[in-house]
Amino acid sequence: MKNIVLMGFMGAGKTTVGKRLAKALSCEFIDTDERIEKEQGRKISDIFAEDGEQAFRDMETDLLKRLQDSKDTFVLSIGGGMPVREENRALLRKIGTVVYLKTSKDEIIRRVSGDTKRPLLQGGALEEKVTSLMNAREHIYMETAHREVVTDGKYPQQIVEELMK
């Protein structure tokens, strides 16, 4: 089996779906944000505040370079900004089948409203920030993905079943 990489906007369900999919496939689940937090011994929001976004993006690229050499099979859930770097897009496609979990702006806003753990959404008008980020990233997600799955109106298990097909 080839690795599966779940990509999409924050709140698209990458971690929730990824954990269930990995269990169904009897393989490891890796969340890049969780892995970086564990390796750094601090939260993503602290990395952004102390070192800046560029340093965090460098950590993401470094992690992908290490994962591409793994002999283990896994489901990988990536941060929403990871594919913005062209180098990362190429690494993701080498690592496995990239699936874009496509979610509407309204659904994203509903899901992330009140979430204080996402540094790029802090302070200010949530809808404007989500709209701006989605406009900047959607075409990147679409050109990087091997496959697209719409998540609106679906339970995580329904998405897993769709991916299993």
Which domain CATH number covers 75? 3.40.50.300
Is 107 part of any domain? yes
Full-model pTM: 0.89
Is 152 part of any domain? yes
Is 49 part of any domain? yes
Q: What would the pLDDT profile of 33-53 be if each residue is shown by its tens digit?
A: 999 999 999 998 899 899 999
Of 149, 81, 89, nearest in space to 118 by CA: 81
Is 91 part of any domain? yes
Report the pLDDT value the prediction gives residue 11, as an integer from 0 to 100.
85
What is the C-alpha separation between 89 and 143, in angstroms, rounded? Answer: 9
Range of the domain at 84: 3-160
Tokens of 46: 């602290």
Helix (H, G, I), strand (E, B) or coil at 103: coil
Is 165 part of any domain? no
- Mean residue pLDDT of the chain comes to 90
How many domains would you assign to the chain?
Answer: 1
Report the pLDDT value the prediction gives residue 77, as an integer from 0 to 100.
97
